[in-house]
Amino acid sequence: MIGTVMRRLVTALACLGSGLLVAAALPPWGWWPLAFAGLVALDRLIADRPRGSRFRRGAVAGVGLYVPSLAWMIDMTVPGYAIAALAYAALLGVAAALVPARAPARWIGLPGAVAVVELLRWSWPFGGVPLSSLAVGQVAGPLAPVLRLGGALLLVEVTVVAAVALAAALSRRWRAAAVAGALVVAVTGLAMALPRAETVGELRIALVQGGGPQGTRARNTDEREVFERHLVASEDVDPGVDLVVWPEDVVDIPSLESAREHDELVDLARRVDATLIAGVVEDAGDEHFRNAAVAFAPDGEIVDRYEKVHRVPFGEYVPLRPLIEPFGGEDLTARDALVGEGPAYLDTPAGRLSVVISWEVFFGDRVREGVEAGAGVVLNPTNGSSFTGTLVQTQQVATSRMRAIESDRWVGQVAPTGFSAIIDPDGHVHQRTGVSEQAVLHGTVEVREGTTPYTRLGLAPALGGAALSLGLARLLDRRRRASDLEDHGDRPVVDEGNAHVGSEAPGRDLSPEPT
Work out the average pLDDT over 299-319. 91
> How far is residue 58's CA from residue 100's CA, in Å, rounded to a whole number?
14
Residues 325 and 228 in one domain: yes
Q: Evaluate if residue 495 carries a pLDDT over 50.
A: no
N-to-C CA span, the chain: 17
Contact 433, 441 (CB under 8 A): yes
DSSP-derived pairing of the beta strands 421-423 and 429-432: antiparallel
Residues 420 and 472 in one domain: no
What's residue 327's pLDDT? 66
- Residue 512 is assigned to a structural domain of this protein: no
What's residue 512's pLDDT? 41
DSSP assigned state of 317 = B
Question: pLDDT (tens digit, 9 = 90+) per residue, 77-102?
Answer: 788 889 899 999 999 999 999 999 99
Q: Evaluate if residue 158 carries a pLDDT over 50.
A: yes
- Residue 496 is assigned to a structural domain of this protein: no
What's residue 2's pLDDT? 79
Residues 160 and 281 in one domain: no
Residues 68 and 117 in one domain: yes
Count CA atoms within 13 Å of residue 509 on its CB side: 11
Tell me the H-state helices in 194-275.
Answer: 223-234, 260-272
Q: Tell me which residue of 163, 153, 166, 159 sits closest to 141, measured CA to CA.
A: 159
Q: Evaluate if residue 502 carries a pLDDT over 60.
A: no
Q: Evaluate if residue 262 carries a pLDDT over 90.
A: yes
Residues 47 and 127 in one domain: yes
- Say if residue 44 is exposed, middle or buried (CB neighbours under 10 Å; 0-12, 13-18, 19+): middle
Listed as own residue / partner, the contacts of 359-363 with beta carbons closer than 8 Å and 24 or more positions apart are 359/308, 359/310, 359/311, 359/312, 359/315, 359/316, 360/308, 360/309, 360/310, 361/396, 361/399, 361/400, 361/403, 361/413, 362/129, 362/130, 362/131, 362/310, 362/396, 362/399, 363/122, 363/128, 363/130, 363/310
Report how many domains make up the chain.
Answer: 2
DSSP assigned state of 103 = T
| Amino acid (1-letter code) at residue 442 | H
Residues 134 and 221 in one domain: no
Residues 6 or more apart whose CB falls under 8 angstroms from that of 115 comprise: 153, 156, 157, 160, 462, 465, 466, 469
- Residue 416 is assigned to a structural domain of this protein: yes
Residues 209 and 125 in one domain: no
- Residue 429 is assigned to a structural domain of this protein: yes
DSSP-derived pairing of the beta strands 275-283 and 251-253: parallel
Count CA atoms within 13 Å of residue 438 on its CB side: 14
- Residue 126 is assigned to a structural domain of this protein: yes
Apex 86 CA angle, 103 and 337, nearest 5: 125
Tell me the Ramachandran region of residue 162: left when phi exceeds 0, alpha when psi lies from -120 to 50, beta otherwise: alpha
- Residue 377 is assigned to a structural domain of this protein: yes
> How far is residue 50's CA from residue 102's CA, in Å, rounded to a whole number?
10
| pTM of structure | 0.91
pLDDT band at 510 (very low <50, low <70, confident <90, very high): very low
Residues 145 and 286 in one domain: no
Work out the average pLDDT over 439-452. 97
- Residue 502 is assigned to a structural domain of this protein: no
Q: Which helix (H) or strand (E) holds 17?
A: helix 2-24
> How far is residue 140's CA from residue 136's CA, in Å, rounded to a whole number?
8
> How far is residue 68's CA from residue 12's CA, in Å, rounded to a whole number?
17
Residues 8 and 96 in one domain: yes
Tell me the H-state helices in 373-430.
Answer: 391-407
- Say if residue 284 is exposed, middle or buried (CB neighbours under 10 Å; 0-12, 13-18, 19+): middle
> How far is residue 342's CA from residue 492's CA, in Å, rounded to a whole number?
62
Residues 431 and 464 in one domain: no
> How far is residue 101's CA from residue 109's CA, in Å, rounded to a whole number?
10
> How far is residue 247's CA from residue 230's CA, in Å, rounded to a whole number?
9
What's residue 487's pLDDT? 66
Between 281 and 125, whose confidence is greater? 281
Domain span at residue 383 reads: 198-451
pLDDT band at 318 (very low <50, low <70, confident <90, very high): confident
Task: Find the CATH number of the domain harbouring 401.
Answer: 3.60.110.10
Average pLDDT of every residue of the chain: 91
- Residue 349 is assigned to a structural domain of this protein: yes
Residues 280 and 395 in one domain: yes
Q: Is 440 helix (H, G, I), strand (E, B) or coil?
A: strand
Q: Evaluate if residue 326 carries a pLDDT over 80.
A: no
| Amino acid (1-letter code) at residue 37 | A
> How far is residue 232's CA from residue 170's CA, in Å, rounded to a whole number?
59
Q: Is 439 helix (H, G, I), strand (E, B) or coil?
A: strand
Torsion angles phi and psi, residue 496, rounded to 5: -60, -30
Residues 204 and 267 in one domain: yes
> How far is residue 351's CA from residue 166's CA, in Å, rounded to a whole number?
47
Q: Which helix (H) or strand (E) holds 295?
A: strand 288-296
